[in-house]
Structure 1
Amino acid sequence: MLRGGRIFRKKLTLILLAVFCVPFTVILLHRDDNEARLEDELTSEIAQLIRQRVAQVEMINQPRRRDLALLTQYVNRSLPWNNTNGDEFPEHSRL
């Protein structure tokens, strides 16, 4: 009879352990899934913000690059060894 009691307690312990562990495991797995989805959403949001910022910087830098290119052309053409004095480029006078 004692032996039957031990087996019963072992089975009861395993059943109770399963009853408490399975829902806890399901909760943890569901939580991990939510965290992964949240991480994906945050990553895509950050990537979108970075793309927007890069586009803004490119828009800001376009006029600067154009002005720098015009200035470089003007300086290169007005150098003494190019036999010009830069007067042939009136559109560059704003620089």
Structure 2
Amino acid sequence: MSNNDFEKVIITIKVRGSNEEYDFEVDSKVTVEELLFKFNEFLSIHKSSVKENQRYIVMVETKHDFIDPTLTIEEAGLWEGSILILTPV
């Protein structure tokens, strides 16, 4: 794989307090923050009750550990099928 090739992964996002989950296909070099921006854009289009620019605390479901949103998907150790739990703040 060259430096210009990015591995695509599907990350599942769950919001604490909701039974819904959302799958997003992203490049592994995208930051967690960019993924959250994409998630907020999606919600603002499809859910009228969502606050614009909602901020979240991000955890990985299997690790029960917080993630630095400035890390890339790859740097954060996320892979195909990883599940992020978002807690609105």
Asked if TM exceeds 0.5, the reply is: no
**Higher strand fraction (1 or 2):** 2
TM-score for both structures, normalised by structure 2: 0.19
TM-score for both structures, normalised by structure 1: 0.18
Query: RCO higher in 1 or 2 (8 Å CA, sep ≥ 6)?
Result: 2
**Higher helix fraction (1 or 2):** 1
